[in-house]
Structure 1
Amino acid sequence: MELRSVEELMDLLYACRGVRDARRRSPDPGVDLHDHALRTAALLRRGRPADKELQLAGLVRPVGQLLSPADPAGRAGLAADAVRPLLGPRVARLVRLHPWRGVPADDDLLSLRQADEDGLTTVFDAGVLEDWRTVLGLVAARNSRLGAVD
Protein backbone atom coordinates (compact mmCIF):
# COMPACT_ATOMS: atom_id res chain seq x y z
CA MET A 1 0.00 0.00 0.00
CA GLU A 2 1.27 3.46 -0.89
CA LEU A 3 -0.24 6.53 0.67
CA ARG A 4 -0.74 9.23 -1.95
CA SER A 5 -2.51 11.95 0.00
CA VAL A 6 -2.50 13.59 3.40
CA GLU A 7 -6.17 12.55 3.72
CA GLU A 8 -5.31 8.86 3.27
CA LEU A 9 -2.57 9.14 5.88
CA MET A 10 -4.80 11.04 8.30
CA ASP A 11 -7.47 8.33 7.94
CA LEU A 12 -4.91 5.64 8.72
CA LEU A 13 -3.60 7.57 11.73
CA TYR A 14 -7.14 8.05 13.03
CA ALA A 15 -7.65 4.29 12.65
CA CYS A 16 -4.82 3.79 15.18
CA ARG A 17 -7.13 5.07 17.90
CA GLY A 18 -7.96 2.24 20.28
CA VAL A 19 -5.30 -0.11 18.85
CA ARG A 20 -2.68 -1.30 21.31
CA ASP A 21 0.65 -3.00 20.71
CA ALA A 22 0.47 -6.13 22.82
CA ARG A 23 4.24 -6.62 22.67
CA ARG A 24 4.90 -3.32 24.44
CA ARG A 25 5.00 -2.97 28.18
CA SER A 26 3.75 0.40 29.29
CA PRO A 27 3.07 1.72 32.77
CA ASP A 28 -0.13 3.16 31.29
CA PRO A 29 -2.10 0.28 29.78
CA GLY A 30 -4.44 2.83 28.23
CA VAL A 31 -1.83 4.09 25.77
CA ASP A 32 -2.92 3.24 22.27
CA LEU A 33 -1.05 3.69 18.99
CA HIS A 34 -2.81 6.97 18.26
CA ASP A 35 -1.93 8.59 21.60
CA HIS A 36 1.57 7.14 21.54
CA ALA A 37 2.15 8.57 18.04
CA LEU A 38 0.97 12.02 19.15
CA ARG A 39 3.20 11.94 22.23
CA THR A 40 6.23 10.77 20.25
CA ALA A 41 5.77 13.48 17.64
CA ALA A 42 5.21 16.14 20.32
CA LEU A 43 8.37 15.12 22.17
CA LEU A 44 10.33 15.33 18.92
CA ARG A 45 8.81 18.74 18.22
CA ARG A 46 10.02 19.92 21.64
CA GLY A 47 13.52 18.52 21.22
CA ARG A 48 14.03 19.26 17.51
CA PRO A 49 11.51 21.98 16.61
CA ALA A 50 12.90 22.66 13.14
CA ASP A 51 13.05 19.01 12.03
CA LYS A 52 9.56 18.40 10.66
CA GLU A 53 10.53 15.15 8.92
CA LEU A 54 11.83 13.64 12.15
CA GLN A 55 8.64 14.69 13.95
CA LEU A 56 6.52 13.08 11.25
CA ALA A 57 8.55 9.86 11.42
CA GLY A 58 7.50 9.65 15.06
CA LEU A 59 3.91 10.38 14.16
CA VAL A 60 3.51 7.87 11.31
CA ARG A 61 5.63 5.01 12.64
CA PRO A 62 2.67 3.09 14.14
CA VAL A 63 0.78 2.68 10.86
CA GLY A 64 2.80 -0.47 10.23
CA GLN A 65 0.81 -2.24 12.93
CA LEU A 66 -2.43 -1.52 11.08
CA LEU A 67 -0.95 -2.56 7.75
CA SER A 68 0.49 -5.80 9.11
CA PRO A 69 -1.05 -6.83 12.43
CA ALA A 70 0.06 -10.45 12.06
CA ASP A 71 3.67 -9.73 11.02
CA PRO A 72 5.53 -7.70 13.65
CA ALA A 73 8.85 -8.15 11.85
CA GLY A 74 7.50 -6.65 8.63
CA ARG A 75 5.65 -3.67 10.10
CA ALA A 76 8.43 -1.11 9.87
CA GLY A 77 9.12 -1.93 6.23
CA LEU A 78 5.47 -1.77 5.27
CA ALA A 79 5.00 1.53 7.07
CA ALA A 80 8.11 2.96 5.40
CA ASP A 81 6.98 1.82 1.96
CA ALA A 82 3.52 3.27 2.56
CA VAL A 83 4.68 6.76 3.59
CA ARG A 84 7.63 7.13 1.20
CA PRO A 85 5.65 8.37 -1.84
CA LEU A 86 3.98 11.02 0.30
CA LEU A 87 6.61 12.05 2.86
CA GLY A 88 9.85 11.15 1.11
CA PRO A 89 12.90 8.97 1.55
CA ARG A 90 14.17 10.43 4.83
CA VAL A 91 10.92 9.85 6.72
CA ALA A 92 10.69 6.37 5.19
CA ARG A 93 14.27 5.57 6.24
CA LEU A 94 13.64 6.68 9.82
CA VAL A 95 10.43 4.65 10.04
CA ARG A 96 12.13 1.58 8.54
CA LEU A 97 15.21 1.67 10.78
CA HIS A 98 13.50 2.76 14.01
CA PRO A 99 13.01 -0.78 15.48
CA TRP A 100 16.31 -2.28 14.35
CA ARG A 101 18.45 -2.24 17.44
CA GLY A 102 21.41 -3.76 15.57
CA VAL A 103 21.61 -0.88 13.10
CA PRO A 104 24.19 1.79 13.96
CA ALA A 105 22.12 4.76 15.04
CA ASP A 106 22.74 8.32 13.99
CA ASP A 107 21.43 11.31 15.96
CA ASP A 108 18.08 11.16 14.16
CA LEU A 109 17.45 7.51 14.99
CA LEU A 110 18.59 7.99 18.58
CA SER A 111 16.19 10.92 18.98
CA LEU A 112 13.34 8.95 17.41
CA ARG A 113 13.96 5.89 19.56
CA GLN A 114 14.20 7.96 22.74
CA ALA A 115 11.01 9.89 21.96
CA ASP A 116 9.26 6.60 21.19
CA GLU A 117 10.23 5.18 24.58
CA ASP A 118 9.42 8.41 26.43
CA GLY A 119 6.07 8.58 24.66
CA LEU A 120 5.04 5.41 26.48
CA THR A 121 5.85 6.67 29.95
CA THR A 122 5.46 10.45 29.83
CA VAL A 123 1.88 11.58 30.29
CA PHE A 124 0.99 15.02 28.93
CA ASP A 125 -1.47 16.64 26.57
CA ALA A 126 0.08 16.04 23.15
CA GLY A 127 -2.71 17.80 21.27
CA VAL A 128 -4.81 16.24 18.55
CA LEU A 129 -4.01 14.65 15.23
CA GLU A 130 -5.56 17.56 13.36
CA ASP A 131 -2.70 19.73 14.70
CA TRP A 132 -0.35 17.82 12.37
CA ARG A 133 -2.33 18.23 9.12
CA THR A 134 -0.47 21.40 8.08
CA VAL A 135 2.96 19.89 8.74
CA LEU A 136 2.00 16.74 6.83
CA GLY A 137 0.81 18.90 3.94
CA LEU A 138 4.00 20.99 3.89
CA VAL A 139 6.32 17.98 3.92
CA ALA A 140 4.21 16.19 1.31
CA ALA A 141 4.23 19.26 -0.96
CA ARG A 142 8.00 19.68 -0.60
CA ASN A 143 8.53 15.98 -1.31
CA SER A 144 6.31 16.24 -4.38
CA ARG A 145 8.31 19.18 -5.71
CA LEU A 146 11.61 17.42 -5.10
CA GLY A 147 10.37 14.27 -6.80
CA ALA A 148 11.44 12.02 -3.91
CA VAL A 149 14.76 11.25 -5.57
CA ASP A 150 17.15 9.23 -3.41
Structure 2
Amino acid sequence: MELRSVEELMALLHACRGAWDAPDRSGDPVDLHDHALQTAHLLRRSHPSDKELQLAGLVHDLGHLLQPGDDAGHADRAADAVRPLLGERVARLVQLHVPAKRYLAAEEPGRPLSAQSALTLGLQGGAMTPDEAAAFARDPLADDAVTLRQADDEGKVVGLDAGVMEDWRPVLEMVAAGRISGA
Protein backbone atom coordinates (compact mmCIF):
# COMPACT_ATOMS: atom_id res chain seq x y z
CA MET A 1 0.00 0.00 0.00
CA GLU A 2 1.22 3.48 -0.89
CA LEU A 3 -0.45 6.50 0.63
CA ARG A 4 -1.03 9.27 -1.89
CA SER A 5 -3.00 11.87 0.08
CA VAL A 6 -3.18 13.34 3.55
CA GLU A 7 -6.82 12.18 3.65
CA GLU A 8 -5.76 8.55 3.10
CA LEU A 9 -3.10 8.86 5.79
CA MET A 10 -5.47 10.52 8.26
CA ALA A 11 -8.01 7.74 7.71
CA LEU A 12 -5.32 5.15 8.42
CA LEU A 13 -4.16 7.01 11.54
CA HIS A 14 -7.73 7.23 12.83
CA ALA A 15 -8.10 3.48 12.15
CA CYS A 16 -5.30 2.94 14.69
CA ARG A 17 -7.84 3.62 17.47
CA GLY A 18 -8.45 0.22 19.04
CA ALA A 19 -5.72 -1.48 16.97
CA TRP A 20 -2.78 -2.98 18.82
CA ASP A 21 0.83 -3.91 18.07
CA ALA A 22 -0.02 -7.53 18.91
CA PRO A 23 -3.25 -8.88 17.42
CA ASP A 24 -4.13 -10.61 20.71
CA ARG A 25 -3.55 -7.36 22.69
CA SER A 26 -0.73 -8.98 24.65
CA GLY A 27 1.71 -6.26 23.61
CA ASP A 28 2.13 -2.67 24.65
CA PRO A 29 -0.42 -1.14 27.04
CA VAL A 30 -1.73 1.53 24.62
CA ASP A 31 -3.31 1.15 21.20
CA LEU A 32 -1.50 2.24 18.04
CA HIS A 33 -3.44 5.51 17.97
CA ASP A 34 -2.34 6.64 21.44
CA HIS A 35 1.18 5.34 20.86
CA ALA A 36 1.48 7.37 17.64
CA LEU A 37 0.24 10.53 19.35
CA GLN A 38 2.52 10.07 22.36
CA THR A 39 5.62 9.36 20.25
CA ALA A 40 4.99 12.37 18.01
CA HIS A 41 4.23 14.57 21.04
CA LEU A 42 7.52 13.62 22.70
CA LEU A 43 9.42 14.41 19.50
CA ARG A 44 7.60 17.73 19.12
CA ARG A 45 8.71 18.67 22.65
CA SER A 46 12.33 17.58 22.20
CA HIS A 47 12.77 18.67 18.55
CA PRO A 48 10.16 21.39 17.88
CA SER A 49 11.55 22.46 14.52
CA ASP A 50 12.01 18.97 13.02
CA LYS A 51 8.57 18.29 11.54
CA GLU A 52 9.76 15.25 9.59
CA LEU A 53 11.10 13.59 12.73
CA GLN A 54 7.81 14.31 14.50
CA LEU A 55 5.83 12.78 11.64
CA ALA A 56 8.11 9.73 11.61
CA GLY A 57 7.06 9.29 15.23
CA LEU A 58 3.41 9.63 14.27
CA VAL A 59 3.52 7.01 11.49
CA HIS A 60 6.34 4.66 12.55
CA ASP A 61 4.10 1.74 13.58
CA LEU A 62 1.50 1.88 10.80
CA GLY A 63 2.91 -1.42 9.55
CA HIS A 64 1.26 -3.13 12.52
CA LEU A 65 -2.11 -1.96 11.17
CA LEU A 66 -1.29 -2.75 7.55
CA GLN A 67 -0.26 -6.34 8.34
CA PRO A 68 -1.03 -7.40 11.90
CA GLY A 69 1.48 -9.78 13.44
CA ASP A 70 4.37 -8.80 11.14
CA ASP A 71 6.73 -7.60 13.87
CA ALA A 72 9.87 -8.15 11.81
CA GLY A 73 8.58 -6.32 8.71
CA HIS A 74 6.33 -3.63 10.15
CA ALA A 75 8.89 -0.82 9.83
CA ASP A 76 9.61 -1.53 6.15
CA ARG A 77 5.89 -1.84 5.41
CA ALA A 78 5.14 1.53 7.07
CA ALA A 79 8.10 3.20 5.35
CA ASP A 80 6.95 1.98 1.94
CA ALA A 81 3.43 3.25 2.63
CA VAL A 82 4.42 6.80 3.64
CA ARG A 83 7.37 7.37 1.28
CA PRO A 84 5.31 8.71 -1.70
CA LEU A 85 3.48 11.19 0.52
CA LEU A 86 5.97 12.24 3.20
CA GLY A 87 9.28 11.75 1.43
CA GLU A 88 12.46 9.81 1.79
CA ARG A 89 13.67 11.16 5.14
CA VAL A 90 10.43 10.33 6.98
CA ALA A 91 10.35 6.89 5.34
CA ARG A 92 14.00 6.16 6.23
CA LEU A 93 13.46 7.21 9.85
CA VAL A 94 10.45 4.91 10.05
CA GLN A 95 12.49 2.12 8.49
CA LEU A 96 15.39 2.72 10.90
CA HIS A 97 13.38 2.66 14.13
CA VAL A 98 13.82 -1.13 14.39
CA PRO A 99 17.58 -1.11 13.66
CA ALA A 100 17.84 1.74 16.19
CA LYS A 101 16.31 -0.58 18.81
CA ARG A 102 18.86 -3.24 17.94
CA TYR A 103 21.63 -0.62 18.07
CA LEU A 104 20.56 0.64 21.48
CA ALA A 105 20.35 -2.96 22.75
CA ALA A 106 24.00 -3.39 21.76
CA GLU A 107 25.22 -0.01 22.99
CA GLU A 108 23.23 0.05 26.23
CA PRO A 109 22.80 -3.56 27.39
CA GLY A 110 20.17 -3.74 30.10
CA ARG A 111 18.36 -0.67 28.74
CA PRO A 112 14.74 -1.06 29.76
CA LEU A 113 12.27 -2.07 27.05
CA SER A 114 8.58 -2.76 27.28
CA ALA A 115 7.80 -6.47 27.49
CA GLN A 116 6.56 -6.43 23.88
CA SER A 117 9.65 -4.59 22.59
CA ALA A 118 11.91 -7.04 24.41
CA LEU A 119 10.01 -9.95 22.85
CA THR A 120 10.12 -8.53 19.33
CA LEU A 121 13.80 -7.61 19.61
CA GLY A 122 14.62 -11.28 19.17
CA LEU A 123 12.36 -11.56 16.11
CA GLN A 124 14.05 -8.49 14.65
CA GLY A 125 17.58 -9.87 14.93
CA GLY A 126 18.52 -9.13 18.54
CA ALA A 127 21.22 -6.74 19.64
CA MET A 128 23.53 -5.65 16.83
CA THR A 129 27.00 -7.10 16.53
CA PRO A 130 29.85 -4.59 16.93
CA ASP A 131 30.24 -4.44 13.13
CA GLU A 132 26.50 -3.86 12.62
CA ALA A 133 26.48 -1.16 15.30
CA ALA A 134 29.46 0.60 13.70
CA ALA A 135 27.76 0.51 10.29
CA PHE A 136 24.49 1.83 11.77
CA ALA A 137 26.32 4.66 13.55
CA ARG A 138 27.75 5.80 10.19
CA ASP A 139 24.27 6.26 8.69
CA PRO A 140 23.58 10.00 8.36
CA LEU A 141 20.16 9.46 9.98
CA ALA A 142 21.43 7.30 12.86
CA ASP A 143 21.16 10.00 15.54
CA ASP A 144 17.64 10.95 14.48
CA ALA A 145 16.64 7.28 14.30
CA VAL A 146 17.89 6.77 17.87
CA THR A 147 15.92 9.84 18.98
CA LEU A 148 12.81 8.38 17.31
CA ARG A 149 13.44 5.03 18.99
CA GLN A 150 13.79 6.61 22.42
CA ALA A 151 10.48 8.45 21.96
CA ASP A 152 8.95 5.20 20.69
CA ASP A 153 10.04 3.44 23.88
CA GLU A 154 8.67 6.25 26.08
CA GLY A 155 5.37 6.74 24.23
CA LYS A 156 3.48 3.88 25.87
CA VAL A 157 1.79 5.51 28.86
CA VAL A 158 -1.82 4.59 29.60
CA GLY A 159 -4.01 7.66 29.99
CA LEU A 160 -1.44 10.25 28.86
CA ASP A 161 -3.09 13.11 26.97
CA ALA A 162 -0.96 13.80 23.92
CA GLY A 163 -3.55 15.72 21.93
CA VAL A 164 -5.76 14.55 19.10
CA MET A 165 -4.92 13.18 15.67
CA GLU A 166 -6.44 16.18 13.88
CA ASP A 167 -3.76 18.38 15.47
CA TRP A 168 -1.29 16.72 13.10
CA ARG A 169 -3.20 17.39 9.86
CA PRO A 170 -1.53 20.80 9.20
CA VAL A 171 1.94 19.31 9.75
CA LEU A 172 1.14 16.39 7.45
CA GLU A 173 -0.16 18.81 4.81
CA MET A 174 2.93 21.00 5.09
CA VAL A 175 5.40 18.11 4.76
CA ALA A 176 3.36 16.48 1.98
CA ALA A 177 3.21 19.78 0.08
CA GLY A 178 6.96 20.20 0.36
CA ARG A 179 7.45 16.69 -0.92
CA ILE A 180 5.14 17.23 -3.87
CA SER A 181 6.62 20.61 -4.85
CA GLY A 182 10.17 19.26 -4.51
CA ALA A 183 9.56 16.24 -6.74
TM-score, normalised via structure 2 length: 0.74
Match of 1:111 in 2: 147
Partner of 2:45, secondary structure, is: helix
**Greater Cα offset, 43-52 or 92-101:** 92-101
Structure 1 gap segments, 5+ residues each: none
CA RMSD of aligned residues (A): 1.7
Matches of 1:38 and 1:110, distance apart in 2: 18
Letter in 2 for 1:41: A
Distance change >3 Å, CA 77–CA 116, structure 1 → 2: same
Letter in 1 for 2:18: G
Match of 1:136 in 2: 172
Indicate if the aligned counterparts of 1:16 and 1:62 stay in contact, CA closer than 8 A: no
Q: Structure 1 vs Structure 2: percent identity of aligned residues? A: 65
Question: Higher Cα Rg: structure 1 or 2?
Answer: 2
Indicate if the aligned counterparts of 1:41 and 1:59 stay in contact, CA closer than 8 A: yes
Deviation at 1:128, TM superposition (A): 0.1
Letter in 2 for 1:54: L
Query: Residues 62-110 of structure 1: CA distance to partner in whole angstroms, max 9, x if unpaired?
Result: 2101111132212111110110000000000000110121362522011
Q: Deviating runs (4+, > 4 A) in structure 1?
A: 23-26
Match of 2:163 in 1: 127
* Alignment: residue pair count: 144
TM-score, normalised via structure 1 length: 0.89
Structure 2 gap segments, 5+ residues each: 103-127
